[in-house]
Amino acid sequence: MKEDSVLPTPVILGIDDLRPLPGVTRIARTSREGVQLLEEHREVFVDELWLDHDLGGDDSIMPVVTLMEEAAFNGRPFRIGTVFVHSANPIGAETVVRSLTRWNYRVRRAVA
C-alpha cells in the first residue's frame, strides 16, 4: 500500500513594520521581534526570509543583520534558502544585501 507523502509547509519569515507580506508564516514588526523570531528558528531551515530596512521611527533591520553576520562569523550561519530584501530605502536595502552577501547568504532584492 502506497502512503501519501506529505510535503512540509515551507517556513517563510518576514520582518516588516507595515506590509502584510502574504505567504509569510510568521512576521515580526520590530528589530527586537525579528531577532527573537530568528533565534526561535535557529535549528530550523528557513525557506525564505523577507527583510524591510526601515522598521518605523529609529528602528531598522540592522540588529537582525548583525545577528546573522555574527552567526556566520562563528561558523553557524542561519540556514536560509533565500533572503529577500524589500525596502523603499535603496541605500539601506543595498547595505543589507552587501552585508549578508559577504557572509554567503543568498540575498535578492525584491518588491513586496
Which domains are present in the chain?
12-109 (3.40.50.2300)
What's the pLDDT score for residue 111? Answer: 75
CA–CA dist 56, 1 (Å, integer): 55
CA–CA dist 103, 89 (Å, integer): 22
What's the pLDDT score for residue 12? Answer: 97
What's the pLDDT score for residue 4? Answer: 62
What's the pLDDT score for residue 112? Answer: 60
Flag whether the pTM goes above 0.75: yes
pLDDT tens-place values along the chain, 112 residues long: 555 677 788 999 999 999 988 899 999 999 999 999 999 999 999 999 999 999 999 999 999 999 999 999 999 999 999 999 999 999 999 999 999 999 999 999 997 6
CA–CA dist 101, 98 (Å, integer): 5
